[in-house]
Amino acid sequence: MSVGLVTSAALLGVLAGAGAPPIARRWTGVAGHRAGLAAVGGVACAGLAVALGADPALPAFLLVAAVGLVLAVVDLACLRLPDPLVAAAGLAGFAGLLVAALVAGTPGRLLVALAGAALSFGGYVLLALLPGSRLGFGDVKLAAVLGLPLGWLGWSTLGLGLLLPHLLNGVVVLGLLAARRVRRDTPLPFGPALLAGAWLAALLA
């Protein structure tokens, strides 16, 4: 693990976190807290650098994380995952992994990543279509985008990345219900749980 690499990733995350509220304001209409998001971004990107090290795919993960910060802010503020932002995360992830596959000479790994994205998309489509499901198709699209880097890390990491968001969301919902902050029928964002679950799965890969 390179201290310089981790420090550089953390600084990138701080900048991404600080820049997320102004970008998100286009969709939310409200300003966020730059200081808190800067810290979150720094921790998120530093964690990825520690987990992946000198893997040529690290830039792809950092780019997806940077866009993910904006998506989390928007979803928390107005229960939306705008298509342009989701598409930006997907394009950044694919471009980064394509370069990584060419640099490392592992095109097969990119195919597995694409299969991971397809599997995530299909799985979440089925979940969204279940009676009583509260998943939106923004969540489905984001799951597909996150399935791409998770698939790059392997099938076990992909499976963990698909499971953890539901566990994390369940804990948050139970806590909010216990504190009487929400009711059973209160709509809640799922995008932050998707992003956090994918991040944790990458750390545990």
Per DSSP, the residues of 144-201 read HHHHHHHHHH-HHHHHHHHHHHHHHHHHHHHHHHHTTSS-TT-----HHHHHHHHHHH
Q: How far is CA 97 from the centre of its chain?
A: 15
pLDDT value of position 29 = 76
The total number of residues written for the chain in this structure: 205
pLDDT value of position 132 = 81
Q: How far is CA 172 from the centre of its chain?
A: 17
pLDDT value of position 35 = 67
pLDDT value of position 182 = 81
Q: What is the DSSP letter of 56?
A: T
Residues 36-49: tens digit of each pLDDT: 889 999 999 999 99
Residues 176-193: tens digit of each pLDDT: 888 888 888 788 899 999
Mean pLDDT across the chain, nearest whole number?
92
Which positions of the chain have pLDDT values less than 70? Answer: 1, 30-35
Nearest alpha carbon to residue 19 among 33, 4, 2, 3? 33
pLDDT value of position 195 = 97
3-class DSSP assignment, residue 202: helix
Q: Is the pTM of this model over 0.85?
A: yes
pLDDT value of position 131 = 87
